[in-house]
Amino acid sequence: MNAPARSAEAQALAAYADEAWDQRIVPALTEYIGVPAKSPMFDSDWAAHGLLERVVVDAARWVESRKVAGLTLDVVRLPGRTPVIFFDIPATRAREGAGAEDTVLLYGHLDKQPEFNGWRNDLGPWTPKLENGLLYGRGGADDGYAVYAAITAIEALDRQHIGRPRCVGIIESGEESGSPDLPAYIEALKPQLGNIALVVCLDSGAGNYDQLWLTTSLRGMVSGMLKVEILSEGVHSGDSSGLVPSSFRIMRQVLDRLEDSRTGRLLPESFHCEVPGARAEQARATAAILGDLVWKRFPWACGADGGPALPTTTDPVQALLNRTWRPTLSVTGAEGFPELSSAGNVLRPFTAFKLSLRLPPLVDGHQASLALKQLLEDNAPYNAKVTFHPDGRAGALGATGWNAPDLAPWLETALNGASLAHFGAPVGYIGQGGTIPLMSMLAAAFPKAQMMVCGVLGPKSNAHGPNEFLHVPYGKRLTAAVSQVIAACP
C-alpha cells in the first residue's frame, strides 16, 4: 500500500527536523555521549566530579543559542539535589475564551547509566560513533536527545509560522536513579508550570522503526541491595563446608520466597495486578503488527543444543504482557565474589545481590518496597544476617508505574495523523517494561493532562547495555511528529 501524500506543512516540518538533526543535534549528542555523566546512584561523588553539571550546562547553552522567540531558561539547583533545566516559551497563537492558558510540558533527562561490558571492539560507552544512521554510545537515546528534539520541534513550528500553545520543559539529571529529586522540583516549579494540557515525554521506546509508537503504560520498580552474612571473615572451605551454611545457598532460599525459579513468576500476589481489558486488547493488536519481533529483537546467545535460546514464551501477546504488566525479578549486580582467577577454596563470608524488581503499572512502589523488605528479612534461615536496603529516600521508596489516561479524541486523531504523515503508517500502541517516575508524579499533579509518551528506543537499541544506539532517521521523524501533535493541542 502506498503511503499517503504529505501536506506541504508536514513536508516543511520534516525538512526542518532533518536539517536540525544533521547540522545541530547529532554534533551536540556526539559531545554529550563523550561525557561519562553517570546518575548519582552510580557516582556518589557526582557533585564533586562535575560531569552532570557539565552536560546540563552544555544543553542549557545549546537551547539558549537557538534564540527561540520569548524563551526563558533557568538551571534550577535545589540544595543537595541534581540540577534541572526549566525553560518557558510563550504561545504563538491567540487564546480563545477565558481561563488559564493551556501549556505543553516536554520532559527528558541527561544523566546516564554506567558503562557495562561487552561493547563491540570498535565501540564504547563514551566513544560516540555514527555508523549507517545509528549513533552509538551511552545516553544518546536514553535520553540525551530529548532536550534537543523538544526545542527543534518547537522551532520547526515557529519557522513555518504554525501557531502553537505555550511550551515548558523539565530536563532532569537523576532519572536513572529513580528521579528522587524530581518531586521537590515539581513542587518548586508548580507555580510556573501552569495548566498542563499535554505532557510530551521523550524517554520511552518503539516497537519498530516504521511508525510512531505511543506508550500506554510503564512498569514501576523496586531496587536495592540484598545481603546475606554468615561469617565475619572467609574460612577454608574444607574445614567449614558442611557445617557453616553457604551464604549463597541462604540467598537462594531467601529469593525462593519471592520467585518461582522454574517459571520466573513472582509469588506474592500483592506484586501482581489485573491487566485492564483495553490494554490486553492493545497487546493483541500490537502482537499482530510485530509478531515474533517482540522476542527476536533481543541479542540471544546460542541454546544448549546449538539452536537459539528461547524466551519465557513465544506467544507475542503473552510476551508483550510479560514485559509490561507482570512483575519480574532481575539480579543486576553482585558482591562478595572474588574474580575467577583468584577464587581459592574459601567459604565466603557474605553474598550480596543488587535486585531490580519490575512492578505492574497499578502496584504502589513504596508499599511494594516495604513488603519486599519484610519478606526477605523475616525469619532468616540459620539465623543468618539478612538485610535488604531499598533504593530511594525515606517516604519515597520504590517507583510506582503508570497507566495512561484515556486518549482525548483530538490527541488520538493528531497522533494517527502525525504517524501517517511522517512514517506512512498508523500510530501503534505499546506498553513499556521500563520506569519513568515522572509520569506517575505528573498524573497525580495534573490529572486532566493528556500524555504523549514516546521515544527512540526501538529493536536492538539496547539502552543500559553494550552497543546502545540512537536510530537517527527515526529520531528525525519522531521530532517532526511531535511538532505536528503540539500544533494540534487545543
CATH number at residue 351: 3.30.70.360
Q: Is residue 81 part of a domain?
A: yes
Q: Which three cell numbers stand for residue 237?
A: 572451605
What pLDDT, on a 0 to 100 scale, did the predictor assign at position 423? 97
What pLDDT, on a 0 to 100 scale, did the predictor assign at position 1? 46
Residue-wise over 200-226: b if at least 16 C-beta within 10 A, else e?
A: bbbbbbbbbbbbbbbbbbbbbbbbbeb
Q: Is residue 290 part of a domain?
A: no
Q: Is residue 291 part of a domain?
A: no
Number of domains in the chain: 2
Residue 346 Cα distances to 20, 240, 244, 350, angstroms = 59, 9, 12, 12
In this structure, the answer to whether residues 375 and 234 fall within a common structural domain is: yes
Residues lower than pLDDT 70 in the chain: 1-5, 96-100, 304, 306, 394
What pLDDT, on a 0 to 100 scale, did the predictor assign at position 3? 52
Residue 454, Cβ neighbours under 10 Å: how many? 24
In this structure, the answer to whether residues 153 and 233 fall within a common structural domain is: no
d(CA 475, CA 24): 13
Model confidence pLDDT, tens digit, residues 164-222: 999 999 999 999 998 889 989 999 999 999 999 999 999 999 999 999 999 999 999 99
* Angle between helical axes of 437-445 and 182-193 (0-180°, round to 10): 40
What pLDDT, on a 0 to 100 scale, did the predictor assign at position 97? 58
Q: Is residue 453 part of a domain?
A: yes
> Which is it for strands 469-471 and 134-136: parallel, antiparallel or unpaired?
antiparallel
What pLDDT, on a 0 to 100 scale, did the predictor assign at position 349? 97
Nearest to 218 by CA among 205, 233, 237, 200: 205
In this structure, the answer to whether residues 147 and 30 fall within a common structural domain is: yes
Q: Phi first, then psi: what are they for 98, rounded to 5°?
A: -95, 175
In this structure, the answer to whether residues 407 and 379 fall within a common structural domain is: no
In this structure, the answer to whether residues 134 and 43 fall within a common structural domain is: yes
What pLDDT, on a 0 to 100 scale, did the predictor assign at position 437? 85
Model confidence pLDDT, tens digit, residues 79-115: 999 999 999 999 999 876 545 689 999 999 999 999 9
In this structure, the answer to whether residues 78 and 21 fall within a common structural domain is: yes
What pLDDT, on a 0 to 100 scale, did the predictor assign at position 396? 77
Q: Is residue 2 part of a domain?
A: no
Q: Which of 397, 424, 444 is the last residue of a domain?
A: 397
CATH number at residue 105: 3.40.630.10
Q: Which of 344, 364, 397 is the last residue of a domain?
A: 397
- 219 in Cβ contact with 162 (< 8 Å): no
Beta-bridge mates of residue 27: none
End-to-end CA, the chain: 32
Residue 324 Cα distances to 176, 178, 255, 316, 366, angstroms = 19, 18, 22, 12, 19
- Inter-residue long-range contacts of 3-11, CB under 8 Å, 24+ positions, other chains counted: 3/420, 3/424, 3/425, 4/420, 4/421, 4/424, 6/421, 6/422, 7/421, 9/160, 9/162, 10/421, 10/422, 10/480, 10/484
In this structure, the answer to whether residues 225 and 214 fall within a common structural domain is: no
In this structure, the answer to whether residues 29 and 66 fall within a common structural domain is: yes
The parent domain of residue 93 ranges over 8-218+402-488
Residue 435, Cβ neighbours under 10 Å: how many? 27
* Angle between helical axes of 472-488 and 145-159 (0-180°, round to 10): 50
> Which is it for strands 235-236 and 129-131: parallel, antiparallel or unpaired?
unpaired
* Gyration radius of the chain's alpha carbons: 24
Strands across the sheet containing 469-471: 129-131, 134-136, 469-471
In this structure, the answer to whether residues 27 and 114 fall within a common structural domain is: yes
Q: Is residue 350 part of a domain?
A: yes
In this structure, the answer to whether residues 95 and 158 fall within a common structural domain is: yes
Q: Is residue 228 part of a domain?
A: yes
Q: What percent of the chain has pLDDT over 90?
A: 89
- Burial label, 260 (beta-carbon count in 10 A; 0-12, 13-18, 19+): exposed
- Burial label, 305 (beta-carbon count in 10 A; 0-12, 13-18, 19+): exposed
In this structure, the answer to whether residues 232 and 207 fall within a common structural domain is: no
Q: Which of 397, 412, 430 is the last residue of a domain?
A: 397
What pLDDT, on a 0 to 100 scale, did the predictor assign at position 98? 47
Q: Is residue 357 part of a domain?
A: yes
In this structure, the answer to whether residues 54 and 145 fall within a common structural domain is: yes
